[in-house]
């Protein structure tokens, strides 16, 4: 979705009509009076708004035609529910309505299945949030959302997290001069930290410096977990000799690493 087709869902986006403020006001009065042709013309006159909104979702692999259709559904819902007495422009009311419809579509089509009860809680919170923003021109806190919905804040937070789309670890978060910083670069891996790799490489290099018999003893003792007695039986020397050679090998490795 990095580039947009001229034609989406059979609509030539390069020839979408523009309505003046006077035309919008007149058409909306006719829509309220039940004029279906005025409604169709009003929809056509606001398709550029839908197009601009779906461009915000260009980061995924969603089909442009599907997003445009869903955006049009949001637009029609906005037309059906818009109240001219609110004292705001139609676009101000329609944008969150269209975006909400697209987000719901993307969440419902997420490959990770989320229970209906969790989705219901999340959608209820989203509706409440959108209504709060339209009314107060700011986002509500989690406590305010809990009060508006009657749902505990922890449950809302869990539900909203559950419906989030998964993000690839190879998603770039910053790019400069052709070099990208990916999400995986910002995640701490306690098991495979860089220091661990360096340490492992250094130990392997230290092992290579040992004579064959001492290297074999170290591998049997510390890589395979054998006892000194078991090592002695395997390489046919006494346990005392194993102990002496082991201490010598460890001392050599320590000197090499330091």
- Average pLDDT value over all residues in the chain: 78
> What pLDDT is stored for residue 2 in this prediction?
39
- Check pLDDT > 70 for residue 218: yes
pLDDT in tens, 70-124: 888 888 888 888 887 777 788 888 888 888 888 878 766 655 556 677 778 888 8
- Check pLDDT > 70 for residue 177: no
> What pLDDT is stored for residue 150 in this prediction?
92
- Check pLDDT > 70 for residue 138: yes
Give the max Cα distance, the chain. Answer: 104
d(CA 126, CA 130): 6
d(CA 6, CA 117): 40
- Check pLDDT > 80 for residue 53: yes
Dihedral sign computed on CA atoms, order 159, 160, 165, 169 = negative
Beta-carbon count within 10 A of 257 CB: 11
Strand partners, 12: 7
pLDDT in tens, 5-43: 455 555 666 677 788 888 888 888 898 888 888 888 888
Can you list the pairs that 221-230 forms with residues at least 24 positions away whose Cβ atoms lie under 8 Å?
221/246
- Check pLDDT > 80 for residue 198: no
């Amino acid at each position: 979705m990095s580039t947009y087709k001229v034609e989406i869902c059979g609509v030539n986006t390069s020839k979408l009509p523009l309505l003046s403020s006077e035309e919008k006001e007149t058409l909306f009065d006719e829509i309220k009076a039940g004029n279906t042709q005025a409604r169709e013309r009003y929809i056509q006159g606001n398709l550029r708004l839908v197009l601009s909104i779906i461009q915000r979702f260009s980061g995924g692999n969603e089909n442009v035609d599907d997003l445009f259709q869903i955006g049009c559904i949001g637009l029609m819902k906005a037309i059906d529910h818009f109240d001219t007495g609110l004292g705001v422009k139609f676009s101000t009311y329609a944008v969150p309505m269209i975006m909400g419809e697209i987000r719901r579509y993307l969440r419902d089509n997420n490959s990770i299945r989320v229970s209906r009860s969790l989705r219901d809680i999340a959608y209820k919170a989203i509706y409440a949030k959108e209504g709060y923003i339209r009314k107060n021109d700011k986002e509500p806190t989690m406590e305010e959302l809990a009060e508006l919905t009657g749902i505990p804040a922890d449950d809302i937070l869990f539900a909203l997290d559950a419906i989030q789309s998964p993000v690839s670890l190879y998603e770039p978060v910053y790019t400069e001069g052709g070099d990208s910083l990916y999400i995986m670069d910002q995640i701490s891996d306690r098991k495979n930290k860089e220091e661990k790799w360096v340490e492992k490489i250094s130990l392997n290099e230290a092992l290579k410096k040992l004579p064959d018999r001492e290297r074999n003893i170290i591998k049997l003792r510390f890589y395979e977990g054998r006892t000194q007695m078991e090592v002695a039986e395997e390489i046919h020397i006494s346990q005392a000799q194993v102990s002496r050679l082991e201490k010598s090998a460890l001392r050599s490795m320590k000197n090499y690493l330091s």
